[in-house]
Amino acid sequence: MAKLKMKKIELIALQTDSKKIIELLQRRGVVEVCRDNDELPGANVAAVINDFERYQVTVEQALDILEQTVPEKVPLTEMFGCRKELKTDEFGKKATELEKSLSTAGSILRSKRAIADYETEISRLNVRCDTLRPWEAFDLPLNFKGTSSSSAFIGSFPTEITAESLESKLSGNISAEVISSTKGQTNMFILCMAENAADIGSELRKIGFVQFSETDKRTPKEIISSCIEEKKRLEAEIEKEKTSIISCADKRMKLKFTADYLQMRKDKYEVLDSLGFTDNTFVLTGYIPEKYVSSIRNEIEKKFTVSISITDPAEDEDVPVLLENGSFSAPVEGITKMYAMPGKKDVDPTPVMSFFYYLLFGMMLSDAGYGLLMVIGTTIALKKFKLESTMQKTLRMFRNCGISTVFWGAMFGSWFGDIIQVVAREFFKKEIVSTALWFQPLDDPIKLLLFSFGIGILHLFLGVAVSGKMAWDEGRKLDAFLDTIPIYLLITGVAPLAASILTSVPAVLKNIGTYLLIAGLALLILTQGRSSKSIFGKFFGGLYAVYNVATGWLGDILSYSRLLALGLATGCIASVINLIGVMPQGTAVKAIVLTAVFIVGHTANLAINLLGAYVHTDRLQFVELFSKFYTGGGREFSPLAVNTKYIKFKEENINE
């Protein structure tokens, strides 16, 4: 339970065995290799790693292209990113096909590139067609300059203009013909005598004529039709390349395998880089969780000539952290990791918060119907789907939260809001007052508010207790008491006094509270300034601590009012949904509408409030609880392992 004890492993073996040993360690996935012997040179493998990276990029790109062209049909049971299982001997066989896979990947990439080229060419042809389209009716080549005695101008005006008006505008004798015209442009063919050509040309330019520049000797119609033919040919080529990509679809698995294989090789070589080499031996240092030490040691010593020494890591070393918890707490590990891995002095907060995580989540969602859905959904998913271990943990967490939700929902009498009461009233003409095992929050919100504060105080007291235990373990035994007991006294004392504002509290409790409060205050003032030298420092340090505790704890405890707010929000919205469902008249219509509204409304409500409960539970743990004892800042244990995306080995990995 909690952080696993880490040992330092130092392994010296023959260089000839280096790759085999690293492969074995990779399969077992329990050793994190670190480089800390700078005296010995590492293997120079940067070039090899580079190659692997390049190949890997090729294969990944090829897979991407395949996915775009022929999307893979994934069976429902593997939706959650499960990797295919593969036996070790199959792996050996497939590894020999590397060359073939790489050439497949290469040909896919080439096809893709060709398709891209053809597509640019097609868009170029499209542009050309578009510019020639207005000239389609013109039956001379566009570079026609005239005959021996006449000169021709082919081009356009940026305005709409008729042939007659142009002819009258110009001084010389011309013959103009409008080929096509739009509002913003008139395309014209203008003919004049050869000797007038220069004058006419300059006059035309003055009124905005732009000559069409074209070198092709064919008529516009011919050019357009040849463009269209070319386009057809290119489209056929694209189809051909696409079919050749599609024909590679059955090699997808092989490509995935290759990607993973390259990743493993790369990881292995990166480790080689961090080893220390002598002429004939190599040294590997790393961290290994204590519980795997003997099995790894036996296995390696049996197969190879090695010397393994296991030591405790030094105080100042950056030892990685691996968490291990029982089946009750382990699902919440993800939440801890999201905040931060425990640092050197921290305890693993997972077991501290797991119980309260489920409890708080349940109180916030607090609807037995929604809880049941969560439990059923996650249980089915856990049974039916093959899942990776982190996904499994998350689902288990939500299942446990669901169980807690059912509990609190039943306590507060909320089953999909008040659906039981509504159905009984509308369809069976019976009044059910309440299904609550305890009480309905809407009847007495103040009671639930006080209960929430109570839960909050317990939650925070737990945090303080953990900080006390940590101080005790470090040998600061006096601190362990002085930093916890006064706070307990003070808060326990204030609680009944504060509660008396909102509700009636027996006088005895108030009296006891007053005494506890005074005792707590006195202790705080007397002890909290103890690190200060002067008597004044001690006194004011104590006062300052009182101020801190008062403001800090007030805010922290009030924060638990969100248990009430979120719980009520779920219930209120759910009730409103049911209310909308039974609005219509007539039993049959009512039943149909209610069913539809029920399904849509409660799905939305569940989604919103699941998210709310999750976020707010996280907040209570991170902001309110963790601030009492937890700093974090550790580094997660990341062992040399088979770090694959698509395939998974059977048996092999013990740390999974």
Partner 1 sequence: MNNLLAVNGLGITFAIVGAVCAALFAGIGSAKAVGFVGEAAAGVVSVDPSKFSKVLILQLLPGTQGLYGLLTAILLLSRIEVIGGSPAELTGIQGLMFLLQLSPWQ
Chain residues binding partner 1 by CB under 8 A are 338-340, 442-443, 445-446, 449, 561-562, 564-566, 568-569, 572, 615-616, 618-619, 622-623, 632
Rounded to an integer, what is the distance from CA 230 to the centroid of its chain?
A: 46
User: Residue 83 has which token pair?
Assistant: 């990797």
> Residue 553 or residue 646: which is nearer to partner 1 going by CB?
553
Please count the other Cβ atoms lying within 10 Å of the Cβ belonging to residue 243.
Answer: 12
| Least distance between partner 1 and beta carbon 181 (Å) | 53
> Residue 259 or residue 449: which is nearer to partner 1 going by CB?
449
Element (H, E) at 12: strand 6-14
> Residue 258 or residue 440: which is nearer to partner 1 going by CB?
440
Separation between Cα atoms, residue 252 and residue 255, nearest integer Å: 5
| Least distance between partner 1 and beta carbon 135 (Å) | 53
Q: What is the DSSP string of 40-109?
A: SPPP--HHHHHHHHHHHHHHHHHHHHHHHHS-----GGGTTTPPEEE-HHHHHHHHTTHHHHHHHHHHHH
| Least distance between partner 1 and beta carbon 340 (Å) | 5
> Residue 332 or residue 375: which is nearer to partner 1 going by CB?
332
| Least distance between partner 1 and beta carbon 619 (Å) | 5
| Least distance between partner 1 and beta carbon 620 (Å) | 9
> Residue 339 or residue 461: which is nearer to partner 1 going by CB?
339
| Least distance between partner 1 and beta carbon 556 (Å) | 13
> Residue 84 or residue 619: which is nearer to partner 1 going by CB?
619
Length of the chain (residues): 656
Give every CB contact of residue 367 below 8 A, 6+ residues apart in sequence.
405, 409, 414, 415, 416, 417, 570, 571, 574, 609
Q: Which of 71, 25, 560, 592 is nearest to 286 (CA)?
A: 25
> Residue 187 or residue 440: which is nearer to partner 1 going by CB?
440
**Range list of H helices, 211-367:** 220-246, 252-273, 293-303, 333-339, 350-365
Q: Which of 644, 624, 261, 273 is nearest to 456 (CA)?
A: 624
Q: What's the half-sphere exposure (Cβ side, CA atoms, 13 Å) at 156?
A: 19
SS3 state of residue 543: helix
Separation between Cα atoms, residue 118 and residue 116, nearest integer Å: 6
> Residue 335 or residue 381: which is nearer to partner 1 going by CB?
335
Give the C-alpha distances (Å, rounded to integers) separating 217 from 145, 150, 223, 356, 499.
11, 19, 9, 85, 98
> Residue 391 or residue 572: which is nearer to partner 1 going by CB?
572
Separation between Cα atoms, residue 569 and residue 576, nearest integer Å: 11
| Least distance between partner 1 and beta carbon 34 (Å) | 18
> Residue 312 or residue 443: which is nearer to partner 1 going by CB?
443
Q: What is the DSSP string of 228-257?
A: HHHHHHHHHHHHHHHHHHHTTGGGHHHHHH
> Residue 47 or residue 501: which is nearer to partner 1 going by CB?
501
> Residue 345 or residue 477: which is nearer to partner 1 going by CB?
345
| Least distance between partner 1 and beta carbon 595 (Å) | 26
CA angle 233, 237, 238 (to 5 degrees): 120
Torsion angle, CA of 527/538/550/613, rounded to 10 degrees?
A: -70
Whether the CB-CB separation of 267 and 643 falls below 8 Å is answered with yes
> Residue 483 or residue 624: which is nearer to partner 1 going by CB?
624
Whether the CB-CB separation of 286 and 21 falls below 8 Å is answered with no
Q: Which of 439, 399, 454, 437 is nearest to 568 (CA)?
A: 439
| Least distance between partner 1 and beta carbon 615 (Å) | 6
Place of tokens 């069913």: 595
- Nearest-10 crossing angle of helices 368-384, 587-619: 80
Sign of the C-alpha dihedral computed for residues 102, 105, 107 and 109 taken in this order: negative
| Least distance between partner 1 and beta carbon 452 (Å) | 10
Percent composition of the chain: helix, strand, coil (DSSP 3-state, to 5)? 65, 10, 25
| Least distance between partner 1 and beta carbon 443 (Å) | 7
Separation between Cα atoms, residue 609 and residue 603, nearest integer Å: 10
> Residue 564 or residue 594: which is nearer to partner 1 going by CB?
564
| Least distance between partner 1 and beta carbon 421 (Å) | 13
| Least distance between partner 1 and beta carbon 389 (Å) | 21
Separation between Cα atoms, residue 337 and residue 3, nearest integer Å: 12
Q: Which of 458, 330, 441, 344 is nearest to 395 (CA)?
A: 330
| Least distance between partner 1 and beta carbon 3 (Å) | 17
By the 10 Å C-beta count (0-12 exposed, 13-18 middle, 19+ buried), 319 is classed as buried
> Residue 499 or residue 516: which is nearer to partner 1 going by CB?
499
| Least distance between partner 1 and beta carbon 626 (Å) | 9
